């Protein structure tokens, strides 16, 4: 079964401009320069310099504890929730300096950078409200407008046919895979430029996991996706660009084909061969 069989027509999908609700700065680039993150004085990230390429899937790989998730969470400043965290260096999103952003700027940055969580995490409200929530807080109202947005993004993640007759059911009743696609749709609905995915398929069964994966591949036409993944196979399947991290440092960064097939660095080679994980 092809879950995309009722996906919005191609010309529609790439043309958010048709119903663009939010200002869209052109050529938003996301990059870090000498980014260091300390938690309680311990360096978690050391002088990280990366640039996230546009309209590609960037996979961050590396052994557990290497700082993948911290890097991801620095992009939308969710690191702030950790006790004793300190940021140094520069993270730029277009003109926003994420490290130095004031509270009011952060909400805007978070709108531009969506997050698909590790475990599906629907908000405690109906399916409809889950999608509408983000739009409402960013100032979009009106029944008709919201109806259209909800339908549009549920279609975009292939969930519309499954739930269109029970939109006002609590989202917690959906299956795990459906919940994760709902979370994806929820992130898309506020029209981010970047999507962060933190092991977003790890809590799903293999079939749902594949479905979500395929969605990411489709979505890269319109979004730049940064993904932390714990399975090398997944990274090999979908990555266009790879960042390999080890003990808080970026060891190697480059085109997926190059990193996987012709790693330049010894450590990368060993990691890919399964010497450590």
Partner 1 sequence: MNRRRLKDRIAGYSMFILTISSLFLVVAMGIGLYMKASPILQEHSLWDLLSASEWKPMKNQFGFFPFLMGTLWVSGLALIIAIPISLLTAIYLTEYSHSMVRRFVYPFLDILAGLPSVIYGVWGMLLIVPWVANVAAPWVGRSTTGYTVLACGIVLGVTVIPLLVSLFIEIFSNVSHELREATFALGATRWQTTKNVVIRKTAPGIVAAIVLAASRVMGETIAVIMVCGNLAIAPGSLLDACYPIPALIANNYGEMLSMPLYESALMFAAFILFFVVLVFNLFSRLVLKKIKSE
Partner 2 sequence: MKRSIFEEKVFKALMYAAIALVMFFVASVVLSVFKRGLPLLSWEMVSQLPGGGFYMGGGGGFLNAIVGSVYIVGGATILGLIISIPVVFFLNVYLKPYSKFGFVARLAYDVLFGIPSIVYGAFGFTIMIYLGLRASLLGGTLVVTLLIIPIFIRSMDEVAKTIPSDLMEAAYSLGSTRWETIGVIVRQIAPAIATATLLSIGRAIGDAAGVMFTAGFSDRIPTSLSQQTATLPLSVYFQLQSPSLEVQDRAYAAAVVLTLIVLFLSISGRIIMNRFSRNKIQ
Binding site for partner 1 (CB under 8 A): 103-104, 107-108, 137, 139
CB atoms within 10 A of CB 230: 15
Q: Calculate the alpha carbon distances from 32 to 84, 86, 111 in Å.
A: 21, 15, 19
Nearer to partner 1, 58 or 193 (CB): 193
Q: 49: helix, coil or strand? A: coil
User: Which of partner 1, partner 2, none has residue 239 at its interface (CB below 5 to 8 Å by kind)?
Assistant: none
**Helix H segments across the chain?**
10-13, 68-75, 103-112, 127-137, 143-156, 160-163, 176-188, 206-219, 232-238, 256-261, 266-272
| Of the candidates 19, 11, 1, 16, the residue with the CA atom closest to the CA atom of residue 158 | 1
Joined together, the tokens standing for residue 214 give 């395929």
141 binds partner 2 (CB under 8 A): no
Q: Which stretch binds partner 2 (CB under 8 A): 5-13, 104-112, 205-213, 229-237?
A: 104-112
**Which of 26/83 has CB closer to partner 2?**
83
* Interface region with partner 2, contact rule CB under 8 A, candidates 115-123, 149-157, 160-168, 263-271: 115-123
Residue 83 binding: pick among partner 2, partner 1, none (C-beta 5-8 Å cut-off by kind): partner 2
Binding site for partner 2 (CB under 8 A): 76, 78, 81, 83, 103, 107-111, 113-115, 117-119, 121-125, 133-134, 137-138, 170, 172, 183, 186-187, 190, 196
């Amino acid at each position: 079964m092809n879950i995309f069989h009722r996906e919005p027509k191609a010309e529609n999908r790439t043309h958010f401009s048709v119903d663009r609700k939010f200002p869209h700065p052109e050529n938003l680039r996301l990059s870090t320069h000498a980014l260091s993150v300390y938690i309680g004085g311990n360096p978690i990230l050391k002088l990280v310099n990366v640039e996230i390429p546009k309209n590609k899937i960037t996979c961050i790989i590396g052994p557990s504890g290497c700082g993948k998730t911290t890097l991801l969470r620095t992009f939308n400043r969710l690191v702030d929730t950790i006790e004793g965290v300190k940021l140094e260096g520069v993270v730029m999103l277009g003109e926003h300096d994420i490290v130095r952003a004031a509270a009011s700027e952060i909400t805007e940055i978070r709108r531009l950078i969506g997050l698909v969580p590790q475990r599906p995490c629907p908000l405690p409200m109906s399916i409809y409200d889950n999608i509408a929530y983000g739009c409402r807080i960013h100032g979009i109202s009106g029944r008709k407008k919201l109806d259209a947005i909800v339908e549009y993004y549920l279609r975009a993640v292939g969930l519309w046919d499954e739930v269109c007759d029970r939109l006002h059911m609590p989202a917690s009743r959906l299956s795990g895979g459906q919940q994760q696609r709902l979370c994806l749709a929820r992130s898309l609905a506020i029209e981010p430029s970047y999507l962060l995915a933190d092991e977003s398929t790890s809590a799903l069964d293999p079939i749902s996991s594949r479905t979500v994966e395929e969605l990411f591949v489709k979505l890269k036409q319109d979004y730049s996706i940064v993904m932390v993944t714990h399975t090398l196979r997944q990274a090999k399947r979908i990555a266009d660009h790879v960042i390999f991290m080890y003990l808080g440092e970026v060891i190697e960064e480059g085109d997926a084909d190059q990193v996987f097939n012709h790693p330049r660095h010894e450590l990368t080679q060993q990691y890919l061969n399964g010497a450590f994980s």
